[in-house]
Every structure is written in structure tokens, then in C-alpha cells.
Amino acid sequence: MSDKDWIQDLKAGDKVVVETNNYGKAITSVVKITPKGFINTENGKQFNPDGSQRGGNQWNYSSLSQLTDEVLLEFKKKRLVNKCKEIDFSKLSIDDLEQILNICGK
């Protein structure tokens, strides 16, 4: 099975990853597969049957990739890191802060 065989099995409602050269990755849904095999996504982009963006250019280019467990974990980790950035550590007790530092190996 080649890297792009999964695209042939896509149907409306399936989740995919849109990778852009400027903005990283985003999870979106397939809205429609046209009779010619073009893939329309929830975020308004259209992709060729091979997963390359239809109408993209070198400055603003996207491609489809498969949503895997690894990608889901990557998104979860980013979400958790961002939540940790919102923590006001000054409100935690000394014991809690020491536990956090021990977990982090500091």
C-alpha cells in the first residue's frame, strides 16, 4: 500500500489533516468527493485526487495527510502545553510547585 492509497477510500465526513507551508497542521472534515475525485474540505479548500491542493502556489500551499493516532496525540500534546502556559504558578503551594519541578526533572 502506497502512502496515498488511503485517499482513495475517503468519503464525506471523514477527518483529514491539512498541512500548510505557512500555518502548520489543522484537522478538518471532508465535505464532498466530486465525480472527478476532487476533495472538498470543511475549511473551504479543494484538493486533487492525489492530496495536493487545487490552485495552490509556492507561497500558500496545502496538502492532505491521513489523520493517524500519532497526529491526534501531537494535537493533544500541543493543546495541553498551551493550557499549561495559562497556569498562574504563583497561586500554587510550595508543595505543588516542588512536585511539578520533580516531574519535570528540575
- Indicate whether 52 and 82 sit together in one domain: no
Q: What whole-number distance in Å separates Cα of residue 97 and Cα of residue 59?
A: 45
The per-residue pLDDT for range 7-48, each reduced to its tens digit, is 999 999 999 999 988 888 999 999 999 999 999 999 889 999
- Is residue 76 domain-shared with residue 56, that is, in the same domain? no
Are 9 and 54 within one domain?
Answer: yes
Q: Give the whole-angstrom CA distance, residue 91 versus residue 106.
A: 20
In terms of residue numbers, what domain contains 59?
1-67
Same domain, 75 and 63: no
Q: What is the pTM of this model?
A: 0.76
| pLDDT per residue as tens digits for the range 45-78 | 999 999 989 887 777 788 999 999 999 999 999 9
Q: Which residues are CB-contacts of 97 (< 8 A; sequence separation ≥ 6)?
A: 89
Same domain, 38 and 22: yes
Pair 29, 60 in one domain: yes
Q: What is the pLDDT of residues 92-101, one digit of tens each?
A: 999 999 999 9
Q: How many domains does the chain have?
A: 2
Tell whether 63 and 73 lie within a shared domain. no
